[in-house]
Homo-oligomer: A and B are copies of this chain.
Amino acid sequence: MIKRCLLVLGMGLAFAGNAAAAEQVDLDMVGRIRQEAFHRSQVMDTFSYLTESIGPRLTNSPAMARANDWTRQKFGEWGLVDAHDEAFDGFGRGWEFDSASVEMLEPRVTQLYALPKAWTPGTKGTVEGEVIKVEIKKLADLEKYKGKLRGKILLLGDAREYKRGTEPDSHRHDATSLEGLQEFTIPKSMDKDRAKRLKEYAERQELTRAINAFLAEEGALAAISISGWDNGIIRVGGGGSRKAGEPVGIPELAMIAEHYNQLARALERKQPVKLRVNVDARFTDETDQPGHNTVAEIRGSSKADEIVMLGAHMDSWHTGTGAADNAAGVAVMMEAMRILKAVGAKPRRTIRVALWSGEEQGLIGSQAYVAKHFAHYPEPTDPAQKALPASLREPTGPLRKLRDYEKFSVYFNMDNGSGRFRGIYAQENIAAMPIFEAWLKPFNDVGATSVVTRNTGSTDHISFDRVGLPGFQFIQDRLDYFSNVHHSNLDTWDHAEAEDLKQAAAIVASFVYNAAMREEKMPRKPLLED
């Protein structure tokens, strides 16, 4: 049996001369966590089940519901308590697709590759039509297409020039790139830009609704846009509308650049182009439905009413299997909880895990959870603000803090792909940095070394951060996240590596355990409005 010891760690390099109190770390427990994480891992079983048995998990799709069920059940099996799904409003309808086929019939016969945008209708069988190019950049552009679209298949834009790959697909940090992250860029004022962007956002939303209604009314068969990336990768999100009662438009697909450009160039040459399209896609609800986060916990002991959280979004886009984005994060967070149970952790604070939904459409699940449990800003009255997902709105009026606001310690999130942890973004919480340095020390040998002041954005820790609660994400090796897999049909099992996920799970388990055990809650940075 391993001797239990509490080692008082000195501060990390960055804080060598700092007066911050030394941070105690239970190295015996860290050792147990490492053993369980590295030698008895189940993280790949979880990752495989989510990606390959359940598959992609679009918010409110039947697959997402299966993921809620399966993960809740797993939490129960592992001895977590209060495993439940927690509903949130404001999402819309479920949608799924089974197949999508596009064939070119003219100017020559061949198979083309395209996949549907989420929340666009299927074709209800095979349709064939002539292809024409349309360019609709503003409402007034609709007029010129009136009466001209019936039975047509629409190309939404020109050919795009191929962008040659001059950097390696896959990237891992080295000492130099990590050092580069230590620099903090003082933000420019964005106020003017923000107003402009808001206006443009509202206009785009209005234009989209008008186009959807127009194309359906005019009887166009389908619309095709170019994939966001080259090299045969289909990078695509949503189209149509997920909101019941809004026009969903016509079947819309994103096509690989190499095929789309052929069509566009043929039209430029005035060659007739004819396609056959069959998209088997459907809305799975008639009316808007609540989304669901799956939540479970390990109850604390002496400080059971105080909360340490960890989480990751379980929803994904629909064309890959939502592997790096974000079965990886879910599998790691679940594994961290399993490890803590397996090593017999008895935390002082309650450790709660949340598997969010609706992240891809604007952090909807986590924002709703934080609003319900911890704090929220009043509903905006400005219509431009109301049109935004709540997580993206400007704070309006004083923050309304709920009872658990003061009971909350910290939230850790994972949503930067499946790459190895190399440290943590302190999100400008300077007081948290020496704590993180101490917690990372036992993982320096597996490559996690850096605590940086920088903010990292755009995922569920922001739902906490924006109401003044400590919420963090880890620095990760990028791998091929932004070259191959992010929101693409290649976001699949193969692009992840087991060793990276095992390392991440060990670090998360250790971090949340440390957070649950330390004397004080995690220090907070001041709310900007205070």
Q: Which A residues fall within an 8 A CB radius of B?
A: 48, 52-55, 63, 97-101, 103, 107-111, 113, 115, 161-162, 164-170, 230-233, 257-258, 261-262, 265-266, 269, 271, 320-321, 479-480, 483-484, 489-490, 492-495
Q: A161 contacts which chain B residues (CB < 8 A)?
A: 494
Q: A99 contacts which chain B residues (CB < 8 A)?
A: 101, 103, 109-111
State the Cβ distance, A217 to closest chain B Cβ, in Å.
Answer: 29
Of all chain B residues, the one with the shortest Cβ separation from A489 is: B232
Q: A53 contacts which chain B residues (CB < 8 A)?
A: 107-108, 271
Decide: A261 near B98, CB < 8 A? Known: A55-B108, A232-B232, A484-B231.
no
User: Across the interface, do A166 and B170 meet the contact criterion of CB distance under 8 Å?
Assistant: yes
Decide: A231 near B230, CB < 8 A? Known: A98-B109, A164-B170, A492-B262.
no
Decide: A490 near B258, CB < 8 A? Known: A168-B165, A231-B233, A480-B164.
yes
Of all chain B residues, the one with the shortest Cβ separation from A54 is: B108
Query: Can you show 10 pairs from A to B with CB atoms below 8 A apart?
Result: A52-B265, A53-B107, A53-B271, A99-B111, A164-B169, A165-B170, A167-B168, A230-B494, A261-B492, A261-B493
Q: A261 contacts which chain B residues (CB < 8 A)?
A: 492-494
Of all chain B residues, the one with the shortest Cβ separation from A258 is: B492
Q: A495 contacts which chain B residues (CB < 8 A)?
A: 162, 258
Task: State which of B100, B107, B232, B484 has its C-beta within 8 Å of the C-beta of A490.
Answer: B232
Q: A108 contacts which chain B residues (CB < 8 A)?
A: 53-55, 63
Task: State which of B109, B111, B262, B479 has its C-beta within 8 Å of the C-beta of A164.
Answer: B479
Of all chain B residues, the one with the shortest Cβ separation from A45 is: B269
Provide the bound-state CA to CA distance between A180 and B79, in Å.
62
Provide the bound-state CA to CA distance between A262 and B9, in Å.
45
Decide: A103 near B113, CB < 8 A? Known: A231-B231, A231-B484.
no
State the Cβ distance, A47 to closest chain B Cβ, in Å.
Answer: 11
Provide the bound-state CA to CA distance between A141 and B8, in Å.
64
Of all chain B residues, the one with the shortest Cβ separation from A167 is: B168
Q: A231 contacts which chain B residues (CB < 8 A)?
A: 169, 231-233, 484, 490
Q: A101 contacts which chain B residues (CB < 8 A)?
A: 99, 101, 111
Q: A169 contacts which chain B residues (CB < 8 A)?
A: 164-166, 169, 231
Of all chain B residues, the one with the shortest Cβ separation from A260 is: B494
State the Cβ distance, A268 to closest chain B Cβ, in Å.
Answer: 10
Decide: A480 near B258, CB < 8 A? Known: A55-B108, A109-B98, A110-B98.
no
Decide: A265 near B98, CB < 8 A? Known: A108-B54, A165-B169.
no
Q: A480 contacts which chain B residues (CB < 8 A)?
A: 164-165
User: Across the interface, do A111 and B100 meet the contact criterion of CB distance under 8 Å?
Assistant: yes
Provide the bound-state CA to CA distance between A321 and B232, in Å.
14
Of all chain B residues, the one with the shortest Cβ separation from A66 is: B108
State the Cβ distance, A352 to closest chain B Cβ, in Å.
Answer: 30
Q: A232 contacts which chain B residues (CB < 8 A)?
A: 231-233, 489-490
Q: A98 contacts which chain B residues (CB < 8 A)?
A: 103, 109-111
Provide the bound-state CA to CA distance between A293 and B80, in Å.
72
State the Cβ distance, A26 to closest chain B Cβ, in Å.
Answer: 36
State the Cβ distance, A395 to closest chain B Cβ, in Å.
Answer: 42
User: Across the interface, do A52 and B262 meet the contact criterion of CB distance under 8 Å?
Assistant: yes
Of all chain B residues, the one with the shortest Cβ separation from A109 is: B98
State the Cβ distance, A70 to closest chain B Cβ, in Å.
Answer: 13
Q: A258 contacts which chain B residues (CB < 8 A)?
A: 320, 489-490, 492-495
Q: A98-B103, A258-B492 are in contact. List 20 more A-B contacts (CB 8 A).
A: A52-B262, A52-B265, A53-B271, A54-B108, A55-B108, A97-B111, A98-B109, A98-B111, A99-B110, A111-B115, A162-B495, A165-B168, A165-B483, A167-B168, A230-B494, A231-B232, A231-B233, A258-B320, A258-B490, A262-B493
Q: A271 contacts which chain B residues (CB < 8 A)?
A: 53
Provide the bound-state CA to CA distance between A257 and B494, in Å.
9
State the Cβ distance, A489 to closest chain B Cβ, in Å.
Answer: 7
State the Cβ distance, A226 to closest chain B Cβ, in Å.
Answer: 11
State the Cβ distance, A121 to closest chain B Cβ, in Å.
Answer: 17
Q: A269 contacts which chain B residues (CB < 8 A)?
A: 48
State the Cβ distance, A286 to closest chain B Cβ, in Å.
Answer: 21
For A99, A164, A269, A494, the residue with the greatest tally of chain B CB atoms inside 10 Å of its CB is: A494
Q: A266 contacts which chain B residues (CB < 8 A)?
A: 52
Provide the bound-state CA to CA distance between A221 and B265, in Å.
38
Q: A113 contacts which chain B residues (CB < 8 A)?
A: 113
Q: A320 contacts which chain B residues (CB < 8 A)?
A: 258
User: Across the interface, do B166 and A168 meet the contact criterion of CB distance under 8 Å?
Assistant: yes
Q: A483 contacts which chain B residues (CB < 8 A)?
A: 165
Of all chain B residues, the one with the shortest Cβ separation from A494 is: B162
Q: A164 contacts which chain B residues (CB < 8 A)?
A: 169-170, 479-480
For A99, A113, A233, A269, the residue with the greatest tally of chain B CB atoms inside 10 Å of its CB is: A99
